[in-house]
Amino acid sequence: MSVNKTNKLCCVIGYPIEHSLSPLIHNAGYKALGLENQYSFRAFPIKAEDLDSGLETLAQLGAIGVSVTLPHKINCLPFVHSSSWAVDKIGAANTLIRKNSTWHAENTDYLGILKPLENLTSLIGKKVAVLGASGAGRAAVYAMNFAEANVKIYNRTESKAQELADEFGIKAGKWEELSELVDFDIIINCTSVGLESEDPCPVPESCFSSKQIVFDCIYNQQSTALLRIAKNKGAKTVHGIEMFIEQAKEQFLLYTNQEIDGEIFRTALYQHFNWKLV
């Protein structure tokens, strides 16, 4: 690892990491706010077995903030000195802050799910189905519990859904009974179905109605089968890019103590993907 020490270093770690768009949006933010001579954001590939030494190296390089992606969101926790309530409840961190020569863990993923939905509706008492019990699924369950929604978790491996349900005091549903989603107000897809353009919709078309909000956490496709079908059924839809932007806005604030307009991140991402802003 090498770095220009004239700037405050922020970075994203994971393995592999070449696909990460965090450097793109954070550096765009620095430029937009005239901070490009004060901060720099880079990606560092760190394997799971090298995480301890990798974090130590980043500390020696003067890193003040670290965005954490797969496979480190859970296995970074043994190497932090303190953590937020959200991290403790979710059991994963996506953000590390250097404080008093130690690492402090935060989780902004749940805000990436919470804020876009709060912009559309009050979540209190809403029936919410979360698909997938992975890290994103855990963040979604936490976010919806935090907002006082009525949450039910579904996962292909039923035991994982039940384990998460027991942990948060919610109900678990069976994957083969997804047809019952038609009775839910909000559906949040936290599975990996949709990462590839040819991926099918993860749930039956009969699940959707014009009364629903459908949130797909996938952000690397301009549209997924889930969003297309839900939109055709009249549902309001939330693209995964909104989650990516909102969680990154909170990270940007934690790293720089300055707020950033999400449109700056959105413009950078749409230009990268060659999508048209609407």
Annotated catalytic sites, by residue? 73
Q: Write the CB contacts of 66 (distance below 8 Å, at least 6 apart in sequence).
A: 10, 11, 12, 13, 55, 58, 95, 96, 97, 103
Query: Counting Cβ atoms within 10 Å, is residue 145 exposed (0-12), middle (13-18) or buried (19+)?
Result: middle
On whether the CB atoms of residues 74 and 92 are closer than 8 A, the answer is: yes
How many CA atoms does the CB half-sphere of 62 hold within 13 Å? 11
How deeply is 85 buried, as exposed, middle or buried, from its count of CB atoms within 10 A (0-12, 13-18, 19+)? exposed
Q: Is the dihedral of CA 263, 27, 190, 80 positive or negative?
A: negative
**Are residues 116 and 243 in contact, defined by beta-carbon separation less than 8 angstroms?**
yes
In angstroms, rounded to a whole number, what is the distance separating the alpha carbons of residues 138 and 165?
10
| Neighbour count for residue 263 (Cβ, 10 Å) | 11
